[in-house]
Structure 1
Amino acid sequence: MAAPLYAGAMTLDLIINATVTLLVTIDPVGLAPLFLAVTGGMDRAQRRETGTRAIVIGFAVMVLFAVLGTPILALFGVTLAAFRVAGGLLLFWIAFEMIFEKRQERHENTANRAISALVLLSGDFAGPLERAALIGIVAAILALTWVIFILAERVDRLLGETGRSVLTRLLGVILSALAVQFVADGVRTLAAA
């Protein structure tokens, strides 16, 4: 990526970056075993209801931060460039945990990381059309997460421990590259100011 992604207009690169960042941060496939553990002892209908409720609440919270992320930063006097550096470092730490298999702690804090990533991305999606696109990306990823929750037993059986480990590490490497890009863009903007 030669130019910063936040140059103004919504581009395919920006949409792909946001989708990959949120997909890797939320990690729907990696949440399947945690969902099974949390809903242990529930029948299929109760599991579906719990998954649906979790997705609806998650969507509401994420939309709130997608819309109000930048104003919240402004309220505290934090520039988007500074938040890019801090958020990029945080995402890099998450990627490190993914690569070195600190899965349980990582999945227990998925909501906090997803919100941080969303606040980072909200600066790139500043206009109404861009915000609608970001909300659409969130909706699509959460819909995928819901499907994986519903199929959690099958997904977990299909991947097995080795498949989950390989997928988690691969996603960690991708997230680390995105994190470095966030930091680089933030440092470039801070240096130009």
Structure 2
Amino acid sequence: MNDLYTQAITVFLGFFAIMNPIANTAAFAGLAGDKPKAEQIKIAAKALIITFIVILSFALLGKAIFHLFGITISALRITGGILVFLVGYHMLNGHGSKLHSAENNDEADIAVSPLAVPLLAGPGTIATAINYSSSGGLTGILLTMSVFAVLCIITFLCFIFSSRILSVIGKSGLSIVTRLMGLILAVIGMQMLIVGITEVITTIN
């Protein structure tokens, strides 16, 4: 049971760092802060529902996709580790990663893009979800998606109360949170990379 709790906490911290609800709350406020409260709630709900569906799809179909394209779990961990590390590295240096960029804001429905994809369900989040869910069978998938659902609810609440949160933490607080999340992400990415490389070396030997 303790191992299950430990794994749940690990998955939660991994997703929390890669999604970074606090930093994305600032992005949400910038994109939808001038809209009526009812519309903000609608946008936030739609964005989080889409995000959950995207991550659930990859968590369930990850192994099938690997089999179809002949991809190994080790290759995913190495590639995912690099992606997650790069996101963390940019955040650690106080810069937003291009993997989570919101520059292309031509879409009318901001809930879909850029909020759901790529801000919330970006390459790093997808890689993290597949990595966690593929290593524990059905239990791994259930645990991963349960934890991710909790994080989606937390993110939804952050979006709804974005103006209050940002007024409390301020720009300095946001910068500190972003850098701390970046450090956690960089470590998680490196760990994924080490595990992937170790598996490849073990297979060769």
**TM-score, normalized by the shorter chain, greater than 0.5:** yes
Unaligned runs of 5+ residues in structure 1 are: 1-9
Which residue number in structure 1 is paired with residue 51 of structure 2?
58
Question: Aligned partner of 2:52: which letter?
Answer: F
Question: Aligned partner of 2:41: which letter?
Answer: R
Q: CA deviation at 1:133?
A: 1.3
Residue 102 of structure 1 aligns to a residue whose secondary structure is coil
Q: Is residue 31–residue 107 contact of structure 1 (8 Å, CA) maintained in 2?
A: no
**In percent, how many aligned pairs have the same letter?**
24
Pairs within 5 Å for 1:10-159: 11-103=4-96, 105=98, 106-108=100-102, 109-110=118-119, 111-112=121-122, 113-127=124-138, 129-159=139-169
TM-score by length of 1: 0.89
Q: Deviations over 1:53-107 (max 9, x none)?
A: 1111111111111111122122111100111011101111000110112227435
Using the TM superposition, name which of 48-57 and 112-121 deviates more.
112-121
Total equivalences in the alignment: 183
Q: Distance in 2 between matches of 1:21 and 1:87?
A: 12
Q: Distance in 1 between matches of 2:87 and 2:32?
A: 25
TM-score by length of 2: 0.84
Which residue number in structure 2 is paired with residue 189 of structure 1?
199
Q: Is residue 98–residue 168 contact of structure 1 (8 Å, CA) maintained in 2?
A: yes
Residue 94 of structure 2 aligns to a residue whose secondary structure is coil
Q: Distance in 1 between matches of 2:8 and 2:33?
A: 36
Q: Deviations over 1:112-139 (max 9, x none)?
A: 2211221222212322x33111110110
Root mean square deviation of aligned Cα: 1.6
Unaligned runs of 5+ residues in structure 2 are: 103-117
Residue 45 of structure 1 aligns to a residue whose secondary structure is helix
Q: Is residue 99–residue 173 contact of structure 1 (8 Å, CA) maintained in 2?
A: yes
